[in-house]
Structure 1
Amino acid sequence: MSRENLVEVEFRHEDEDTLLADAGESSSIVEHLLSVQANRLQAGQPDSELRSLSHLDEENVKLLEHQVDAAHRALFEMGGKALLADEVGLGKTIEVGMILKEMHYRGTDDAVLILTPAQLAQQWQAEMLEKFGLDFTCNYDDDFAGFDGHDHIIASIDTAKSERHRSTVLARDWDVLVLDEAHYVKNEDTDRYGLLEQLSYDYAFFLTATPIQNDVTDLYNIISLLRPGLFGTREAFHNYFVNTSQETLVNRNELQTRLREVMIRNRREETDIDFTPRNVTTRTFTPSPAEQDLYEAVTDYVRTAYSEDQGQKLVLMMLQKEVVSSPAALKQTIERQLDVEDGRPAHADQLEQILEWVDAVEKPTKLEQVQRITKEARERVDMGRVIVFTQFRATQQSLLDTLSDEGYTTHAFHGGHSSDEKEEIVERFEEEGGVLVSTDAMNEGRNLQFCNVMVNFDLPWNPMKVEQRIGRIHRIGQEREVYVFNIALEDTIEEYVLERLYHKIDLFQQSVGELSEILTRMEETGRNFEDEVFERLVGAGSEVELENDFDAMAVDLQEQRDLAEKIEDFNGGVFEGFDLGASDD
């Protein structure tokens, strides 16, 4: 098998931009596809068309213009090695599916390896089969016989790099390598990077929505795996393309010219995708007297303990999150702190008092509100489907018990489930409806477009996690309006985070990419978002001081937004010209 079987000639029609613009006005993607391929045939390139697409079932996969174009460019303009860097939610997996379908049609896919994060392997397996009729064995399948026992494999990258399998993976000559979430291999000093550097393959397709996470070196490292030598050495790359003192990009035209050989990037606003509206309702509720006493007792303990021993910061931070999540979650942690072998722990009297306040809470206020939302959904939403997110397993169990007692069909999803169990849970939720109560084990990668109602029972202090939750249902394929309900208790840290921070950065209107740039700027200045929230909470001497501290943090966020916009300008210099086959000008 030779590369000439797949790519006989490269082709770029000089009027392709015009053609794509005209196609955007067409009511049918099929008409667009035929038009594009007719022009290519007229140009004398009989083998530079996606011949397999006419065999796809339109009921299983709806081909979008930018996806068809990306698949064609990756195969026929980039020689079968491409970085697919579309923004979040634009369907990079579908683009790879089209590419693999075409290669299968042409018989150039004898040995294919798809490497993904562990939690996404089986989702990839299902999508390739259901949408493209491509049958892959997954490393989580019962009949998985190793990396030398099958020709079409989807596997966790960490399984592939493990001591048990690494030598077998490296011993094969793969026709095609696909790498999902390629930004996870941006560090050249990791075992993941080392594995990919040594792999033998003819064609490769890497996927990431964030090719630059911290600095342009990330992009250099990823592309060097695809096209070694394209940018020379790392030192030469920096010296030639980056003005370190001013943090600006230089020699942009040449950088773009080289990137154009390997990278495709589509942005949301430059596609014809009409995302459904996102409706966000934030509801704050007055805690009961018992809940207020409990919150104050925990906050006093956290401040006192932290001032004496900052080494237990993570435990104290967890307590402060649990107290606004559920008494059940808080109780488990407090009991663990009291359960020590060597006598009584420090502040035992305070901890025992907290347990008394826990027992005094008869029914959590937020739990009552979830019941109202799910009741309304059961009456008005298809199959009553609602996803409820919480950070804590004890809170999850409390929600499941209460909703089950109310007669709801319930489903639990958490990190303790195996990959097979997670797939089964999602399938049951789709088929049976009801309420899925999930921890943040589901906050990234899963496709749940069949549901359009979400409740954030407790709110992560890191807003990226909230956006990732919402991204499970608000994505391509969602045909209904999306409704997100955020529940918080008044006069608690949760309300400060929600009202003074999330809304200051317009969280619920942000895309993941924009939000990532803001938070990345914060962490580059040495401040982790969650640490910052905690430090302001324990450091405030009064309610007024706490309000002022959070207002100051909101100002800091605005400054980070301004810096993020400068970074966006920087990235624009890198990415400009990669959208829908734009010209070289």
Structure 2
Amino acid sequence: MPGYTDIQARYFAEQLLLKRPAASLDGLVSTISGVKVDLNPHQVNAALFALKSPLSNGALLADEVGLGKTIEAGLVLAQYWCERKRHILLIVPASLRMQWRDELASKFYIDSLILETANYNQLKKKGVNNPFSSQTQVIICSYNFASNKELDLKRIDWDLVICDEAHRLRNVYKKSNVIGNKLKSALSGKKKLLLTATPLQNNLLELYGLTSIIDDHVFGDTKTFREMYVAPGNSEIRNLQLKKRLQPICQRTLRKQVTEYIRYTNRIAICQEYQPTPQEEKLYNDITEYLKTPHLYALPVSQRSLITLVLRKLLASSSYAIAGTLDSLVNRLENLLAGKPDDLEINDLDTVDEYSEAIEEDEEENGSFTMEDYIAIEEELKKLKEFRDLALSIKTNSKGENLLTALKKGFTKSAELGGARKAVIFTESRRTQDYLFNLLSNNGYEGKIVFLNGMNNDAVSKSIYADWKQRHKGDDSISGSRQADMKAAIVEEFKNNAEILIGTEAAAEGINLQFCNLLVNYDLPWNPQRIEQRIGRCHRYGQKNDVVVLNFLNNKNAADTRVYELLNEKFKLFSGVFGSSDEVLGSIESGVDFEKRISDILQKCKTTDEINAEFNQLQNELSDQIESKMISARKSILENFDEEVSRNLKTCEENTVSSIDTRSQWLYYFLQSQSGAGVTDMDGRRFSVNGQIFNLDWRQAEANDEAFLRVEDPVIKSQLEKVINTNPVTGNLVFDYSNGSSHKIGFFTNHPGLTGTINISKLTYFGLEPEEHLIVTAIADNGEELDSDLVNKLFQLPATQMIDNSLSFDNLSSQILENAQHKKKEIEEHYREYFLKECEKLDQYSEDLKEGLQADLKALDKEIREKKKAFKANISASLDEMLKEQEDINKLEKKKKRMRRELYDKEDEIDVANDALQNEIKEKLKGESELRDVLNVSFKIE
């Protein structure tokens, strides 16, 4: 009975292991078919964009939030990994390190190492000269750590560097961005992939900064960029020019462009209003009045604004939160009176360090006190003790009691939407976190709550962490970073067992909670960027249900009401399909500055009318920012709204699915051909290979706890390599078409009994990167030529193999060479396109530099004309003054002549440098090729 022969096995193995060009869809599909990802066309499109040219120095992927830039970068990284380019560095915010490690391991089967101070020093002690030098793991580290190790980074010949949340680097053109400048210097010349949803916020120079990180030859110098693009006469023409310059390096997809194939769920807002008790209201009013006192001894002058902001946040959180901080203030004043060290630490908020960096303060005042000062300190101490005692006496918080009602309401709504009984509750205070834990534990949720904060030193968290480490012992889940691993352990416990996660701001970054669709803002931050970040933990790609966002509002507080109004109506954070757009959030330079502005309003306003007037002004300013020209510039420079985007994505989707299906078929038929070599077909999708069960569908594989059938799996790869490492195969195949094909193919139906010869040769082209192509030459005995698609369909038919050493294929030799030559020309044409694009970029860069030189000369010429005009107009000048002015003009004239002479020399130098770069590229493009036989087949179709 016909089956799948050794000749067909060789054909399928060659197709599966072929080194296809990385910059092609076929090349990327080799990677895509072996990852556990629900791919979308825009992600494949973005990955292809990043891989498009081997001469490129990298790309900026700037998709809107929630479109899966991590997946896009993961595909690029996986492609490099498959090509054995394994010096790969991932620089990410510290909070995202574990998320990246998990994504690489679970979706891409790539191991990684989180490098931080502790394990870096351990590796050094073990004799590892440069801990960044691993080629068996992707290196993941934070921005701070990477910049502190710039010398180590510089010593590695990185194949790829990926920077997530890369907007941190956009001000690299400023000397003040120390981290950015260190990384730019350390990673100069290395291929880089930058990921950010907001590449342009408030200044076009930010685009210059980001592109210069990738490639210094995209634009000229900073000065020239500023003159050409920042303040042009016609902004519309400027935007078009900038768009054209950025197109080869920057790719951006909008959420509205992908709604055809991505289902986005809604946000549904619930506002839980409450009224504080009389005691709580008194505490709030007393401390608010205290904070408005012109001089306070409890608050160091160098921290006055910072601590005022923090106290207001804690005051709005809970009486428990403020009580502990009031105790710290009492201790400071008691130490001042006793002449002891008076350091003040506010450690109840995860965000204190961020506020401290962002809020500029006055210098500390002189520490010596008069008798009047000591009397005033005694009075202030008495007040603070009264505030503290009042806070401690409050045993019931109105907001906390309302949480119990709100949770029931939220869980009911969540269940209606099909969600699991899961809720994440955000508070800004660790003490409030403790209070909520006790409150909920005493009201039906005991044993169902987990914590997540910046420390997680509580007994419950430690126990969860210990169990998690034991459970994952030996399965590569443990990164070695306690902070990252603790997060992973808490999230896993929340997903599998707990009902409630109480998180501080530490839980707002670096975790995915798509399995939860109820989010409670117990304390509502004033920073809209932080709120979007919180909601984005649940309302993100992969969320299957609408997300309920439950916000608490003190309806007796005018300021709280106005803040909520701003966040809800102006920033549109809580309702709708997308939440706040990148455009709106991107209009705020710094969320901390926005919070500071609100704090300042509360500090200076005494009445409700004053508060409303200030908030009206703030709202008007926001309207101007959100509707500013910079937003218009962002859209026209970075976004494509034309129909071509939709067409491209549709084509990309169709071609990707088709290519993956073809690849899956090759793998399926290859395993069918190995039935006598330890392979058993179980049900057409599942195979037993040497006793191990593999599944072609990764979702079924996960559900059944089976191995995903991937070419890269060592068991499968060894089978393929065993077949491919044989000599060229020659033989006679009789294909069973009448019985063996479930899909009829018109050509074979119309040519019954067709016979002929097939040669398959492998062309290896050694150019910028080695690439392989199968050259298929097939001619029927009736003279008709069969294309590669028909031959592929032919090889997928069951066949009987016969060895016949007398077979001759001389009739194909000239056609084989012609086909190979055609493929070589195709490759060289691609190389020519790469070269021309690089030359165009370098020519534009050179022109920018020349423009800068010309601009300097024009500026000097203008200065001379103005001086001459002033000289003629100054009729009252003395002779000495006239001689001095004439001397200055003569000096400028000489300088102008010198500049004009030097201009041509400098322009020549620019041209020489440009030619040198282009010649260097030309040398890289020179390639050689090798052609060798793989299969020679005489065939007959029955």
Q: TM-score range by the shorter chain?
A: 0.7 to 0.9
Between the aligned partners of 1:500 and 1:113, the Cα distance in structure 2 is: 40
Partner residue, 1:357: 390
Say whether residues 1:173 and 2:161 are aligned partners.
Answer: no
196, 202, 209: which is aligned to 1:208? 196
Distance, in Å, in 2 between the alignment partners of 1:170 and 1:345 is 58
Q: 1:442 to 1:225 in 2, by over 3 A?
A: same
What amino acid maps onto 2:617 in structure 1?
A: A
- Aligned to 1:304, what secondary structure does the other structure show? coil
2:449 to 410, 431, 440: 410
In the alignment, does 2:634 pair up with 1:571?
Answer: yes
Pick one of 122, 141, 159 that aligns with 2:98: 122
Equivalent AA in structure 1 for residue 499 of structure 2: G
Deviation per CA, 1:509-547, whole angstroms, max 9, x where unpaired?
A: 542513323323x99xxx932222122222223223223
**1:186·1:193 contact (CA, 8 Å) conserved in 2?**
no
Distance 2:28 2:612 in 1: 61
- The 1:207–1:78 alpha-carbon spacing in structure 2 relative to 1, beyond 3 Å, is farther
Q: Any idea what the Cα deviations from partners look like across 1:423-445, whole Å, max 9, x if unmatched?
A: 21112111213111111122234
Give the 3 Å change call, closer, same or farther, for CA 426–306 of structure 1 in structure 2: farther
For 2:873, the equivalent position in structure 1 comes to none
**Deviation by residue 1:167-219 (Cα, 9 ceiling, x = unmatched):** 22221111111111111122333134322333266532111111112311111
Larger radius of gyration: 2
CA displacement at 1:53 relative to structure 2: 1.5
Structure 1 residue 92 and structure 2 residue 61: aligned?
A: no
Cα-to-partner distance string for 1:129-159 (whole Å, 9 max, x where unaligned): 1111112222259698421245421222322
**Deviation (angstroms), 1:478:** 0.6
Does residue 71 (structure 1) correspond to residue 47 (structure 2)? The answer is yes
8 Å contact 2:430–2:504 — kept in the other structure? yes
Q: Match of 2:179?
A: 191
CA shift, 1:256, in A, is 2.0
Within the candidate set 29, 35, 43, 1:56 is matched to 35
Q: Which residue of 1 aligns with 2:656?
A: none
Question: Which ranges of structure 1 fall in alignment gaps of 5 or more residues?
Answer: 12-36, 38-46
Q: Classify the secondary structure of the residue corresponding to 2:159.
A: strand
State yes or no: 1:490 paired with 2:484: no
- Paired residues of 1:505 and 1:558 also in contact (CA < 8 A): no
Using the alignment, how far apart are the partners of 2:296 and 2:145 within structure 1? 43
1:77 CA displacement: 4.8
Matched, 1:562 2:556: no
Report deviation, 1:82.
Answer: 1.2
Three-state SS of the structure 1 residue aligned to 2:587 is helix
What secondary structure is seen at the aligned counterpart in 2 of 1:503? helix
Deviates more, 1:287-296 or 1:135-144: 135-144
Q: Give yes or no for contact 1:429–1:436 (8 Å, CA) kept in 2.
A: yes
User: What is the aligned counterpart of 1:240 among 215, 228, 248?
Assistant: 228
Would you say the 8 A contact 1:8–1:48 is kept in 2? yes
Q: 2 CA distance for matches of 1:506 and 1:232? A: 39
| Separation of aligned partners in 1, 2:310 and 2:639 | 43
Deviates more, 1:187-196 or 1:573-582: 573-582
How far apart in 1 are the matches of 2:190 and 2:609? 63
- Matches for 1:302-451 after TM superposition, within 5 Å: 302-305=291-294, 312-340=304-332, 341-343=335-337, 344=377, 347-375=380-408, 381=415, 384-406=421-443, 407-408=445-446, 409-417=448-456, 418-451=483-516
> Cα distance, 1:78 vs. partner?
7.3
Range moving further from structure 2, 291-300 or 347-356: 347-356
**Aligned letter for 2:205?**
T
C-alpha displacement at 1:495, in angstroms?
2.5
Cα displacement (A) at 1:49: 5.0
Do 2:253 and 2:639's aligned partners in 1 also have CA atoms closer than 8 Å? no
Deviates more, 1:226-235 or 1:137-146: 137-146
Q: Distance in 1 between matches of 2:93 and 2:644?
A: 29
Aligned counterparts, 1:145-156, within 5 A: 145=123, 146-151=131-136, 152-156=138-142
| Letter paired with 1:153 | I
8 Å CA contact retained: 1:122, 1:419: yes
Alpha-carbon distance in 1 for matches of 2:206, 2:20 = 29
Q: Report 1:429-578 matches (<5 A).
A: 429-492=494-557, 493-499=559-565, 502-509=568-575, 510-520=579-589, 528-563=593-628, 566-577=629-640
| Greater relative contact order, per chain length (Cα 8 Å cut-off, separation 6+) | 2
* Residues 108 and 216 (structure 1), Cα distance of their counterparts in 2 relative to 1, 3 Å cut: farther
What code does the residue aligned with 2:164 have? Answer: D
Q: Quick one: distance in 2 between partners of 1:474 and 1:306?
A: 45
Aligned residues: 533
Task: Give matches, 1:32-51, under 5 Å.
Answer: 50-51=29-30
Name 1:109's counterpart in structure 2: 85
- More deviation in 305-314 or 147-156? 305-314
Contact 1:176 1:201 in 2 (8 A): no
Work out whether residues 114 and 179 of structure 1, in 8 Å CA contact, stay in contact via their aligned partners in 2.
yes
* Cα distance in 2 between the residues matched to 1:159 and 1:49: 32
How far did residue 581 of structure 1 move? 6.8
Could you tell me how far 1:503 is from its partner in structure 2?
Answer: 2.6
For 1:528 and 1:558, the matched residues in 2 are separated by 17
Change (3 A) 1:568 1:504: closer
The one-character-per-residue Cα deviations of 1:94-141 (angstroms, maximum 9, x if unpaired) are 001112222333x24221111111111111010011111112222259
Q: Determine the C-alpha separation between the residues in 2 that align with 1:578 and 1:173.
A: 39
Q: For the residues of structure 1 that align with 2:566 and 2:81, how far apart are their CA atoms?
A: 53
Which amino acid counterpart does residue 178 of structure 1 have in structure 2?
I
Q: Distance in 1 between matches of 2:488 and 2:309?
A: 32
Letter in 2 for 1:426: V
One-letter amino acid of the structure 2 residue matched with residue 291 of structure 1: E
Rounded to whole Å, the distance in 1 between the matches of 2:499 and 2:21 is 53
For residues 354-377 of structure 1, give each alpha carbon's deviation from its aligned partner in whole angstroms, at most 9, with x where no partner exists.
223313423101111222233456
Structure 2 residue aligned with 1:268, among 239, 242, 255? Answer: 255
Aligned residue type for 2:168: Y
- When structure 1 is superposed on structure 2, of 378-387 and 259-268 the one drifting more is 378-387
Distance 1:491 1:516, change over 3 A: same
Q: Is the 8 A contact 2:202 2:630 kept in 1?
A: no
When normalised by structure 1's length, the TM-score is 0.84
Q: Is the 8 A contact 1:211 1:218 kept in 2?
A: yes
Which moves more between the two structures, 440-449 or 137-146? 137-146
Which residue matches 2:892? none
| Distance (Å, rounded) in 1 between the aligned partners of 2:184 and 2:379 | 50
Q: Which amino acid aligns with 2:144?
A: D
Q: Does the 8 A contact of 1:284 with 1:495 survive in 2?
A: no
* 1:158 and 2:144 correspond: yes
Contact kept, 8 Å, 2:269 with 2:548, in 1: the verdict is: yes
TM-score (norm 2): 0.53
The CA deviation at 1:551 is 2.9
CA distance in 2, matches of 1:228, 1:83: 14
| SS, match of residue 132 in structure 2 | coil
Instruction: Provide the rounded CA distance (Å) in 2 between the counterparts of 1:578 and 1:128.
Output: 32
Offset at 1:451?
1.0
CA distance in 2, matches of 1:345, 1:446: 47
Using a 3 Å threshold, how does the CA distance of structure 1 residues 578 and 195 change in structure 2: closer, same or farther? farther
